[in-house]
């Protein structure tokens, strides 16, 4: 067996090595020899192979025979085609991961959900909470003392009062019902999460688009929206879905000044749906204008949907309205769930698991964003669980990806009136960690996003 092929005159050495060692000159025989060289490390990952024509001429077979051998090796994911470098050797370890990969239809790319494999265990939290006499007390507290003490140090400002709801969607819906009358204008970031637009439809609000940049809602856009007298500005303070932007301290101060000087009072609703899965604390207008600020923080993406717990903060008068709405519907949140959440918030082992999850989410998002950028696709900067990807045409891109059994989110569902047809939302939290698979996905998205420029993944 030959030793490691050097970098010097590498294509000529590859051709001579193949000519000496290929005894069966059928397509299968050629593929078998090359596969052995790859698995033995003679041909290393990233090595560029000579052209089909040069190999065919040297070993005395037709170009079609070599092409057929290359097809076999691509199917085995030992060779891949790079549009700039030609045919190159793939990593056998990554190829093994690809063969065991069940397919992109198994990955939730359309919804910004957490990776269930990275969620912390909750059995100890539920056990401790169920055994707590406090969980079954007869008091009328809406928020248990355990939960209140656990969240106060993690809250972005000193809130006057708290309420608890059964998950982020319910929390946002309750908050809007407490301050919005049917037909009332509501200023909302553009683009935004589809569930936020759904809650606005549920309360029959009239949404006003407020354009965002990488730091959050743009001050000029908020000022313009004030002319229509919105009752509330709703935005996501960190890891915004779909763009991934996080509101900066500078932007918080600029927005607070606009709200302070507004001729008509307007509340601010900070919809912190990703919650601690995105980080430990976020900038809040509540540090400057607590009397105007409502924060809705969901913990479902951090600890899983079994917790089904969301915490809401705001002025006393607002929280009282929330409690009245809950009393009418009998939708108080279980105190067992509240105390289980308190346990997890205080548990050092759980926090270590969350640090690991946050790092993995960040790595996966960056990996796909990097590959897409390398293939010429524009991606919004940011953090969190999703990417906002530019495409030439949403319908064409979606259909192209569906043919490959890849389901991503429509950008039009993230905009008021569905008038943005130049973006896709791609969830990244559950991506595989295999860089070869991520590159395959990036190639497929690039081919769909820029169909005239980028070849589909092989």
pLDDT at 99: 62
Question: For residue 427, what is the enclosing H or E element?
Answer: strand 423-427
pLDDT band at 458 (very low <50, low <70, confident <90, very high): very low
Rounded to 10 degrees, the C-alpha dihedral 388/391/393/394 comes to -30
Stretch 385-396: mean pLDDT, rounded? 96
Q: How confident is the model at residue 235 (pLDDT cuts 50, 70, 90)?
A: very high
Most distant pair of Cα atoms in the chain: their distance: 89
Closest CA to 288 of 238, 252, 235: 252
Lowest mean pLDDT among 157-171, 248-262, 316-330: 316-330
DSSP 273-326: -SGGGG-S----GGGT-GGGEEEEEE-HHHH-TTT--EEEEE-HHHHHHHHHHH
Q: How many whole angstroms separate alpha carbon 436 and alpha carbon 458?
A: 12
Task: Return the percentage of the chain with pLDDT > 90, whole number.
Answer: 67
d(CA 101, CA 98): 5
CB neighbour list of residue 233: distance below 8 Å, 6 or more residues apart: 186, 187, 188, 210, 217, 222, 225, 255, 259, 266, 267, 268, 269
Mean pLDDT of the 300-307 span: 92
Give per-residue pLDDT as tens, 27-42: 888 998 998 888 778 8
Q: Which two tokens stand for residue 268?
A: 């601010």
Report pLDDT for 141: 63
- Region for residue 183 given its phi and psi (left: phi exceeds 0; alpha: psi -120 to 50; beta: otherwise): left
Nearest-10 crossing angle of helices 168-179, 194-202:
40
Q: Is pLDDT of 422 > 50?
A: yes
Residue 367 token pair? 């990996």
pLDDT band at 1 (very low <50, low <70, confident <90, very high): very low
* Structure confidence at residue 452 as a pLDDT band (50, 70, 90): low
Question: 133 pLDDT band (50/70/90 cuts)?
Answer: low
Give Cβ neighbours of residue 440 (< 8 Å, ≥ 6 apart): 98, 457
Q: What SS3 state is found at 389?
A: strand
131: part of which helix (H) or strand (E)?
A: helix 123-131
Total Cβ atoms within 10 A of residue 220 = 12
Q: Is 408 helix (H, G, I), strand (E, B) or coil?
A: strand
3-state helix, strand, coil in the chain (%, to 5): 50, 15, 35
Q: What is the pLDDT, as a whole number, of residue 13? A: 86
Query: 83 phi and psi, to 5 degrees?
Result: -65, -20
Give the containing element (helix H, strand E) for 94.
helix 92-100
pLDDT of residue 80: 85
Candidates 44, 141, 33; CA nearest to 92 is 44
Q: Look up residue 348 and give its two tokens.
A: 């050092």
Task: Report whether 331 contacts 167 (CB < 8 A).
Answer: no
Tell me the two tokens of residue 204: 């029959």
- 3-state SS class at 344: helix
CA triple 341-347-348, angle to 5 deg: 145
Give the pLDDT confidence score for residue 36 in this predicted structure: 86
The predicted structure's pLDDT at residue 90: 82
- For the record, the structure tokens of 435 come out as 């860089």
Res. 140 pLDDT band, cuts 50 70 90: low
What pLDDT does residue 6 have? 46
pLDDT in tens, 154-170: 999 999 999 999 999 99
Q: What is the pLDDT of residues 192-210, one digit of tens each?
A: 999 999 999 999 999 999 9
| Among the listed residues 267, 266, 326, 306, the one whose alpha carbon sits nearest the alpha carbon of residue 141 | 326
Q: pTM of the full predicted structure?
A: 0.77
Tell me the average pLDDT of the chain: 89
CA atoms within 13 A on the CB side of 403: 11
Residue 364 has pLDDT above 70, yes or no: yes
The percent of residues in the chain predicted with pLDDT above 70, rounded, is 92
Report how far residue 432's alpha carbon sits from residue 250's, in angstroms, rounded to the nearest whole number.
36
pLDDT > 90? residue 43: no
| Total Cβ atoms within 10 A of residue 87 | 19
- Report whether 433 contacts 362 (CB < 8 A): no
Query: Is the Cβ–Cβ distance between 453 and 376 less than 8 Å?
Result: yes
């Amino acid at each position: 067996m030959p030793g490691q092929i050097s970098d010097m005159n590498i294509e000529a050495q590859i051709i001579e090595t193949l000519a000496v060692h290929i005894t069966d000159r059928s397509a299968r025989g050629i593929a078998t020899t090359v596969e052995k060289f790859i698995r033995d490390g003679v041909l290393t990952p990233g090595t560029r192979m000579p052209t089909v024509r040069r190999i065919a001429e040297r070993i005395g077979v037709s170009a079609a025979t070599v092409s057929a051998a290359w097809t076999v090796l691509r199917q085995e994911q030992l060779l891949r085609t790079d549009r700039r470098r030609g045919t190159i050797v793939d990593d056998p370890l990554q190829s093994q991961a690809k063969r065991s990969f069940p397919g992109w239809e198994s990955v939730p790319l359309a919804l910004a959900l957490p990776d269930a494999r990275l969620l912390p265990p909750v059995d100890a939290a539920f056990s401790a909470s169920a055994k707590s006499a406090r969980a079954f007390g007869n008091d009328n507290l809406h928020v248990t003392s355990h939960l209140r003490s656990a969240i106060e140090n993690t809250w972005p400002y000193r809130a006057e009062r708290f309420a608890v709801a059964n998950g982020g969607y319910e929390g946002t819906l309750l908050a809007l019902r407490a301050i919005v009358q049917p037909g009332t204008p509501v200023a909302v970031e553009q683009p935004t999460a589809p569930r936020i637009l759904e809650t606005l439809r549920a309360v029959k609000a009239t949404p006003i688009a407020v354009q965002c940049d990488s730091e959050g809602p743009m001050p000029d856009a908020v000022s313009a929206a004030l002319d229509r007298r919105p009752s509330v500005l709703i935005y996501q303070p960190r890891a915004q879905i779909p763009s991934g932007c996080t509101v900066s301290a500078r932007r918080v101060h600029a927005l607070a000044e606009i709200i302070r000087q507004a001729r008509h009072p307007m509340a601010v609703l900070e919809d912190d749906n990703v919650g601690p899965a995105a980080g430990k604390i976020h900038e809040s207008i509540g540090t400057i204008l607590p009397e105007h600020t409502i924060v809705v923080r969901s913990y479902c993406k951090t600890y899983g949907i079994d917790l089904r717990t969301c915490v809401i903060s705001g002025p006393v008068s607002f929280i009282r309205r929330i409690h009245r709405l809950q009393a009418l519907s009998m939708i108080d949140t279980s105190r067992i769930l509240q105390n289980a959440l308190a346990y997890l918030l205080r548990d050092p082992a759980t926090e270590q698991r969350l640090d690991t999850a946050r790092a993995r989410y960040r790595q996966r998002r960056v990996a796909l964003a990097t590959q897409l950028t390398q293939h010429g696709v524009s991606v919004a900067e940011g953090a969190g669980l999703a990417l906002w990807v530019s495409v030439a045409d949403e319908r064409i891109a979606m259909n192209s990806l569906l043919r490959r059994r890849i389901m991503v989110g429509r950008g039009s569902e993230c905009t008021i009136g569905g008038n943005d047809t130049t973006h896709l939302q791609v969830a990244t939290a559950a991506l595989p960690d295999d860089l070869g698979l991520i590159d395959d996905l990036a190639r497929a998205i690039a081919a769909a996003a820029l169909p005239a420029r980028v070849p589909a993944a092989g």
